[in-house]
């Protein structure tokens, strides 16, 4: 059975203006203790072999490659497991990728967001777009052939032409990325973006930019397999599919979330308290929730609706949604137009 392990790396050089994740810019002195704590957490668990492992954050590429490898070696993995590390284009080197590859990493996800300097500034990002091509080439040279590019559209000051150039620049990378994720900028409470109303995204502008990225990627041979994710055939992210299929996964590290058969729980948020609890042998669980069967059934449909697998035709009034869904066999799948209205269509799901 598919089973995923997510490892949260909470360290960053700078917090982006839109970021509400559990990350810190002043805790690098905790890296060694944090790695030891993650390894201890793993050793205390009896987990099934992982079919996918995902290092997210934060900026996993900010910690020494050998330390990340130590955590990975503590995970029992299935044969041919997918192992992904999120990376900042500015913090990767050939040596780091080589260390990853030796440890078993076979996929990297680069946080690019935009290829326009002024858009990156608007987002509070610091990396140099010129480093993206180098980061992609170095991954390929190290034998890591699967590369995802993360993009964000809708920032203040980003024109439609800027966005088109960003997507075209991604498609011009050599070798071409195997996967592209493109997300509309969202406003999270408590972030600098939330406090600056002038920088809040416009929904119509984001809809136009979604159509652009979908059209360009589709013409280039990518398949949209989830609303915000496109892949070359066979290069879909298996770890993310676990989430969208409501399968089981275990989160390791501070603030990491886990799911097992309808029970969801999450760890203590701060790295300091997480390390302390691990060392003292006390519970690291901050809270949990248990889904009843009707809620779980609805959520399963809601997640499936976002994917190219769609939902059973009996789960939607398809005759009322012409143009928004298409029937493929016995499944109802969102059209491009329907993907723009996914949240509204989800309210019509029938369990």
Report pLDDT digits (tens) over 240-289. 999 999 999 999 999 999 999 999 999 999 999 999 999 999 999 999 99
Q: What are 144's two structure tokens?
A: 């890591």
| Secondary structure class of 285 (helix, strand, coil) | strand
What pTM did the predictor assign?
0.96
pLDDT of residue 124: 86
From the list 104, 120, 124, 102, the residue with the least C-alpha distance to 112 is 120
pLDDT of residue 128: 84
pLDDT of residue 321: 98
Q: How many CA atoms lie within 13 A of 121 on its CB side?
A: 4
Going from the first residue of the chain to its last (351 residues), give the mean pLDDT of each consecutive group of 10, the final group possibly shorter: 97 92 96 98 97 97 98 97 96 96 98 95 85 96 97 97 98 97 96 94 97 98 98 97 97 98 97 98 98 96 98 97 97 98 97 91
Q: What are 276's two structure tokens?
A: 């302390």
User: Which positions ≥6 away from 107 have C-beta within 8 Å?
Assistant: 82, 83, 84, 85, 144, 146, 147, 148, 237
Query: Could you state, in order of their start, the residue ranges of all structural domains in the chain?
Result: 4-243, 294-346
Beta-carbon neighbour count of residue 8 at 10 Å? 26
pLDDT of residue 87: 97
User: Given 2.40.50.140, 3.90.1150.10, 3.65.10.10, 3.20.20.70, which CATH number is that of 4-243?
Assistant: 3.20.20.70
pLDDT of residue 194: 94
Burial of 106 (0-12, 13-18, 19+ CB in 10 A): middle
């Amino acid at each position: 059975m598919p089973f995923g392990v997510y490892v949260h790396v909470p360290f960053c050089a700078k917090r982006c203006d839109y970021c509400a994740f559990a990350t810190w810019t002043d805790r690098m002195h905790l890296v060694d203790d944090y790695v030891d704590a993650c390894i201890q957490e793993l050793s205390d668990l009896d987990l099934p072999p992982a079919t996918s492992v995902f290092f997210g954050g934060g900026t996993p590429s900010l910690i020494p490659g050998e330390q990340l490898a130590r955590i990975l070696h503590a995970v029992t993995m299935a044969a041919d497991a997918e192992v992904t590390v999120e990376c900042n284009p500015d913090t990767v080197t050939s040596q780091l990728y080589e260390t990853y590859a030796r440890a078993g990493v076979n996929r990297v996800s680069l946080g690019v967001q935009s290829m326009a300097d002024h858009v990156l500034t608007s987002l509070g990002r610091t990396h140099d777009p010129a480093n993206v091509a180098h980061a992609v080439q170095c991954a390929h040279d190290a034998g890591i052939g699967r590369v995802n590019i993360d993009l964000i559209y809708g920032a203040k000051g980003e024109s439609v032409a800027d966005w088109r150039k960003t997507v075209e620049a991604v498609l011009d990378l050599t070798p071409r990325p195997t996967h592209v994720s493109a997300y509309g900028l969202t406003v999270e409470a408590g972030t600098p973006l939330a406090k600056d109303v002038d920088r809040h995204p416009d929904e119509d502008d984001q809809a136009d930019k979604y159509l652009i990225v979908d059209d360009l990627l589709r013409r280039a041979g990518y398949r949209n397999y989830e609303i915000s994710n496109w892949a070359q055939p066979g290069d879909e992210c298996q770890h993310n599919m676990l989430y969208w299929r409501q399968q089981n996964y275990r989160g390791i590290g501070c603030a990491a979330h886990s799911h097992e058969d309808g029970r969801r729980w999450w760890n203590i948020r701060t790295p300091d308290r997480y390390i302390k609890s691990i060392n003292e042998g006390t519970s690291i669980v901050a809270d949990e929730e248990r889904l009843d069967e009707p809620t779980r059934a609805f959520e399963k449909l809601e997640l499936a609706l976002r994917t190219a697998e769609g939902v059973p035709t009996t789960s939607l009034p398809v005759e009322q949604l012409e143009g928004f869904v298409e029937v493929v066999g016995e499944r109802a799948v969102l059209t491009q137009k329907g993907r723009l209205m996914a949240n509204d269509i989800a309210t019509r799901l029938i369990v």
